[in-house]
Chain A
Amino acid sequence: MNTTIIRNGRVIDPANKRDEIADLCIVKGRIAEKSDVRDPNSDVEEIDAKGLIVAPGLIDMHVHLREPGFSHKETIESGARAAAAGGFTTIICMPNTSPVPDNSSTIAWIKDRAARVACVNVLPAGAISKNLAGEELAPIGSLATAGVVAITDDGHCIQNHEIMRRAVEYARMVGVPVLDHCQDYSLVGNGVVHEGYWSTLLGLPGWPAAGEEAIVMRNILLAELCDHPIHCQHLTTTGSVRLLREARARGVKISGEVCPHHIALTDEAIQNFDTNYKMNPPLRSQTDVDALLDGIADGTLSILCSDHAPHAEFEKEVEFDVAPFGIIGLETELGLFIDLLLHKHAKIDIVRLIEMCTIEPARLLKLDAGTLSPGARADVTLIDPALKWTVSVDQFQSASRNSPFNGWKLKGRAVRTIVGGKTVWKL
């Protein structure tokens, strides 16, 4: 089937400032002008998108696919299916696998594997430091040549500011942005939950907000010093938002992302020691949630992501302080963001939400994705922003089930995901 016409949808393409009821044509896997659909012999697939939003395929730049090394949690294949089911056509996979992609051959393996089994575009991020140890630089130039879209030690954070500085300087030369999980190890210690009322009440080791903010501050200084983008991953605190707002106003190349759970939940959720509420950084206070929402509203936080972190049930079903951090998120992400940011808190409109999930990450990572410009690869997500649905982990495509949102009633979700002109998932 060469040609697809998506009819009567609300086409929203923030990169081109387009928002109109229109038909969207796809010819040979690319977005096409209507005038290109001429061939009466061609087999045309028609998709009725009345009442739906037709958006550029969504991008999630913070996903853990666990392969190679931990395929009992997730594989590139199952993680890609989860992405498709969540409306994502491009995902960036983080380097905390085994082996760590701190070398070209592991990157090549991931790309090869993705090309063969993944139904969405899977783009690897490489490591900043060898074995994510924070001590010696990985061969960042070779990683860039091998096709990484960013470097990060995600899950780890380089503590030595000098090494981080050299990494950013070097990354500037080869043109890859640096993503950072912001955690000061000495301040955070063995903290597992937000340091505050609930950590005090429950006697769980606290993870203070200052442990994130100290590194956000460091990253602002280094982004300024090196004149190169540093992107702060999954930000959670009032202070991080304030620091970022001030730095961005001065034009520093610093950006930040937000995960759904950090605005959907507070640290109050940990009171029954359910490890599906254990993530890193941890759930914060209501004040922090409000600050994140304001940061999203005023553009300080420019990218939305999931930090999809699959773990097997037997790994999560242990004592709270020894359980691994993280929850899966690809299949609840869009629903939660629409429900929370549009419906519940009315912080942004659907156009901005799509922008934060498409062209914002695409620009940062210099991806050939995130728009519906004629000629672009036909990655398209159809969204029903008013569809009411109930989260059921049993229906997830992910190989894992570690979600705190099971049973949540949400409004809004992706109903069809198209990659390169081909429908890869449909509700």
Chain B
Amino acid sequence: MTTRWTRKDLLGLRELSADEINFILDTADAFKQVGTREIKKVPSLRGKTLVNFFVEPSTRTRTSFELAALRLSADVINISATISSLTKGETLKDTARNLEALHADIFVLRHGSAGAPQFLANRLKASVINAGDGAHEHPTQALLDLYTIREKRRQIAGLHVAIVGDILFSRVARSNIFGLLKLGARVTLVGPSTLVPREFEKLGVEISHKIDEVLPKADVVNLLRIQHERQRREYFPGIGEYIRFFGLTKERAKLLKADCLIMHPGPINRGVEIDSEVADGLHSVILNQVTNGLAVRMAVLYLCGGISA
């Protein structure tokens, strides 16, 4: 392995090379072992302070980052929007500079605005890890998806991955598209035309509005969470119609290849984008994703934290 990691920040997968992505995944391999030991802790980030800065609510991503940092022996503080000064009108920049003045080394940022992590990264000496910014990128989610596919199928190049659901508003979809294409996968986006606009074809993916035609050909089906219809009222007629045309029902699951992987970034709407039986079925690697997320996030914190030092 000749790749060396040179970035203090992880902002998205679009800016990474295939070598860099593979380097993170290889590093995660080493950390995955740590999780199976009796002593689940390594001293890599001892003495470092990590701030979990979640301006948009999240439980699983925040917890995963927190646990990853603790296993690397970092000190962790969690700040959410409701307790931050942002609610008092302080700007993101001022809040971050105040936190940096406390000598935080790594910021993990979840934010509702696309580009917010880059905004901070350009202004801070500390590392900035994007834990999801608006509809832009969610790089560690895509990395753990890639890791899980690689773990199960050994290599990603040549696989056909279907991403199903609300693509337009999904940062998970974008990061997956960038990462999968860089690693040589074929990507088909599936969903209603309002949530999968044609413009996406320019990114190098295929688009289908007929899930039954895609499922038999897919090696991986990554299902995205469908927001409650109230929030997306004008984008599709209703949950019933969504399920009818795009839900991964038990019946549709019969179309899947025997070795097809079913993935979901969570939290799952059982009975909406995926039937309960399918989520818990043989194809599902949804819980593997969660476990792998920890290893991938340890790798990212370890690599970026080592640069900002």
Contacts and interface: CB of A to CB of B under 8 A. Distances in A.
Interface string B238-266: 00000000000000000000000000000
Interface residues of A, number: 19
Contacts of A321: 113-115, 134
Given A201-B174, A202-B114, A272-B118, A319 B199 contact: no
A320 B115 contact: yes
Contact of A196 (B14, B113, B199): B199
A201 B133 CA distance: 13
A317 B116 CA distance: 11
Contact of B203 (A199, A201, A204, A319): A201
B113 A319 contact: yes
A272 B121 CA distance: 12
Contacts of B8: none
A203 B93 CA distance: 21
B199 A197 contact: yes
B156 interface: no
Nearest to A318: B91
A203 B114 contact: yes
B290 to A, nearest CB: 24
A287 interface: no
A205 B174 CA distance: 14
Contacts of B114: 202-204, 273, 320-321
Given A314-B91, A319-B116, A203 B171 contact: yes
A200 B199 contact: yes
A367 interface: no
Contacts of B199: 195-197, 199-200
Contact of B200 (A200, A202, A317): A200
- Of A197, A203, A318, the most chain B CB neighbours within 10 A belong to A203
A322 interface: yes
A89 B169 CA distance: 47
Given A319-B115, A319-B119, A322-B113, A200 B203 contact: yes
Interface in A230-275: 272-273
B99 to A, nearest CB: 16
A117 B200 CA distance: 53
Most buried by B among A272, A273, A317, A321: A273
Interface string A177-218: 000000000000000000111011111110000000000000
A273 B115 contact: yes
B135 interface: yes
A322 B197 CA distance: 24
A199 B135 CA distance: 10
Contacts of A199: 199
Contacts, number: 59
Nearest to A322: B113
A197 B136 contact: no
A324 to B, nearest CB: 13
A203 B202 contact: no
Interface string B122-148: 000000000001111100000000000
B136 A203 contact: yes
Interface size bracket, B side = 20 to 34
Contacts of A202: 114-115, 136
A203 B134 contact: yes
B202 A317 contact: no
Contacts of A318: 91-93, 119
A197 B202 contact: yes
A204 B135 CA distance: 7
Nearest to A196: B199
Nearest to A321: B113
Nearest to B94: A314
Interface string A291-323: 000000000000000000000001001111110
Contacts of B111: 319
Kindly name the residue among B115, B134, B174 whose own CB sees the greatest number of chain A CB atoms within 10 A: B115
A273 B15 CA distance: 14
A301 B135 CA distance: 36
Nearest to A197: B202
Interface in B180-236: 197, 199-200, 202-203
A240 B24 CA distance: 48
A195 B171 CA distance: 17
Contacts of A314: 91
Contact of B113 (A201, A317, A320): A320
Contacts of B113: 319-322
A272 B91 CA distance: 19
Interface in B140-187: 169, 171, 174
B204 to A, nearest CB: 11
A319 B115 CA distance: 7
Most A C-beta atoms less than 10 A away, residue of B111, B113, B197, B200: B113
Given A203-B169, A204-B114, A318-B91, 18 more contacts: A197-B202, A199-B199, A200-B197, A201-B14, A201-B203, A202-B114, A202-B136, A203-B133, A204-B134, A204-B136, A273-B118, A318-B92, A318-B93, A319-B111, A319-B113, A320-B113, A321-B134, A322-B113
14 contacts: A197-B199, A201-B203, A203-B114, A203-B169, A204-B135, A204-B136, A205-B135, A273-B114, A273-B118, A273-B119, A318-B91, A318-B119, A319-B119, A320-B115
The 8 A-B residue pairs whose C-beta atoms are closest, nearest first, are A273-B115, A203-B135, A319-B113, A203-B136, A200-B199, A320-B115, A203-B114, A319-B116
